[in-house]
Structure 1
Amino acid sequence: MKVLPKKHLLIVLLLLFATFAAFAFSPKQDSNSVHKGKLIGVSTVAATAYVGGLSGLYFLWYKDYDQSSFHFYNDNIAWLQVDKVGHAYSTYQMSRIAYTGFRWAGLEEKKATWISSAYGFAFFTSIEIMDGLSDNWGWSWGDVAANATGTALFLGQQLLWEEQRIQLKYSYYPSKYAAYNPDLLGSSLVEKMLKDYNAQTYWLSVNPQSFSTSRKIFPKWLNIAVGYGAKGMIGTYENPSEINGVAMPSFQRTRQFYLSLDLDLSKFKTRSEFWRLFLEVANMIKIPMPTIEYNKENGFEFYVIGF
C-alpha cells in the first residue's frame, strides 16, 4: 500500500478535522454560557482527532520502520524551509478550528483560546516525539519552532484582539518539477498538492482595516498578503544528478517572495448557515489575486492572477 509521507498526512488530517468541525459547529462565538452537551461533543471530536490521528500515523507509517532510543535530527535546510512554514500553517489552523468549536460550546473566550492553542501545539509535538523514537527520523527543533510560531500567531492575536487580524493561508499552483521525481513530489493531483513544495505558497494575510481607527480607509474584506515559496527542488536537501538511472536537468533552487491582495472571507455576511460554514473553511486558502513576485533568478514578475 502506498502511504503519504507522515507530515503530509498531517495536512490531510487537519483538513478533514477542519471540514468536520466547520460543518458541525455554528460560527457564532458570542455565548459565554457553557452548553454541557455541546462541550462534550466538541471535546469528543477533538479527542477523537487527536487519538485517531496519532494512532493512524503510527499504523500507517511508523510501525513499518525500526524504532530507536530518543534522538535528534536536523532537517532545517530541507526544501528551503517551505516545509517549516507548512508546519506553522498546520498548527495555526488546528488551533483556529479547535477554538471555533470550543467557543460554539460556550466556553469563555480566554479558556477557549488557551485550550485550543495548547491542543494544536500538543498534537504536533506528539508527532515530534514519535519522530524522535524512530530510527529513520528524529526530534527536529526546527519543526518544533515552526509549530510554536503557528501557535503563537493564533494565541497572541486572540489575547490581544480576540480576532485574527493576521492569518496564515495556503495556495497551490502546479509546478513542472513533480514530473521529474513523482515518487518524492507526487504523481496524482492530491499527492502533488501535499508533497510538491515547489507548488505550495504560504501567506501572511493582513487585514489593514482592523488596524485602522477609521471605517472608511479600506474595505473590511480586503487583505494585503505577503507570501513565501520556492522552486527548482527535485530533492529534499539538494537536487540529484539522476533519478532511477535517468539524467536530470540542472535546476537552481530558488526562494520566491510575493506581495498580493487577498480576501478575508470571514468578513462576508450571509444569512445562510451553509455559506457561513463554507466561508469559514475556505478562509484557510489564499484567494488568487494580482500578485508581484521577486526571486533572485528572474527578479520582479507581475501576475494579473497569482496563486
Structure 2
Amino acid sequence: QWAASERLTAAADILRTSPQASRWAELVEDMSRSAPETFYSIKINLHEALACWEDPGILARMAPGRSPLGDLDPAALVRNSDRLMVIARPSGHAIPLVTSLVSAVVEAGRQEARRALAQGGRLDPPLLLLLDEVCKVCPLPQLPELVTDCASQGIVVVYALQSLEDGRTAWGPTRFGGMWSATNCHLVMGQVSSAETLRDLSDLSPTVRIEDPREARNARGERLDPVVRYERALTTDELAALPALSGIAFYGRRPMRLDMPHVASPQSEVQAQALASKAAWLRWVTEHQSPQAMGRGGDEED
C-alpha cells in the first residue's frame, strides 16, 4: 500500500520505528521530496524491487512463520560449515530476495572471519562462495570489495560472468575494474562473442616478440634483418575461435590451454554427478513445494 501511494511518508514512519533504520527513514523522506521526474523514476525502480511479492509462491515461502522449512540462520550456516544451494531464474522477480539472502550469508561469513582474525587466525574451513551467473542471478552490491580483500579473511570467491560488460553494468566500470584486477585466476571458456570482452581478455596474455623474415637482400647479397613486431600471445581471433569445451586459464606468467572432452561424454563422472544432482533436486522440490506453488504449475521461482 505504501509503495502505491503518492508519497513515501508511510514507509518513512515504518522505518522510524526501528533504531537501526532511522537514517533510512530520512533518506526515504528526501526521495519523496524529489522532482516529479526523479520521483517517478524512483517509483518505477521500487515497483521492480517489490514485484517478487506479487508471486503467491514466493510470498508463501518468505512470510515469517509460514514456511514449512523453518527459518534460515546465516550465522549458524557459516559456523556449522553447512552447504547452501540457491537456484533462481536469471533476471527473475526473485532476484532481490536471492541477493538479500546471499548477502546475509556473506556478511555472516565476514563477521566470523573478523572474529577469527582477532584471535590471530582465519576462517577454518574457508567459506566458499561459488557464484554462477552472478550479475543476472545474485548481483551482490559488496562483491567488488569482497573479492579485493577476501583472501586474508578465509573467504574464497569464485564468480562467473557471461561478459565483462555485464560486470561493468552491475557494479560500474571503476569498481568492477578493481574487482577484475584483484581476481587471481581468470578462466575463459570457449564461444565468447563480445568484441570488447575479447579485447580485454587478450590483454591478459603476455606480449611476445615476433620476427617476420624478409626476402630482400643488401648490396652484398646478405638477407636483410627480419621485421620485429610485438603482439599479444593470444589474439582476439584466437580467443573467439575456442570451441565450447575448451578454455584458457590466465594464472601466472603463461596462459594455459584446457580441454574438457570428458564433460560431454555420457559415461563421464561429471555427467553422472550432474544427472544425480538434478534428480535429487527434483525429488526435493516435489517433497517440499507448497500447495500454492504446486497449483501454479511451472511458474514458481526456485
TM-score, normalising length from structure 2? 0.30
More strand by share: 1
Greater RCO (Cα-Cα under 8 Å, separation 6 or more): 1
TM-score, normalising length from structure 1? 0.29
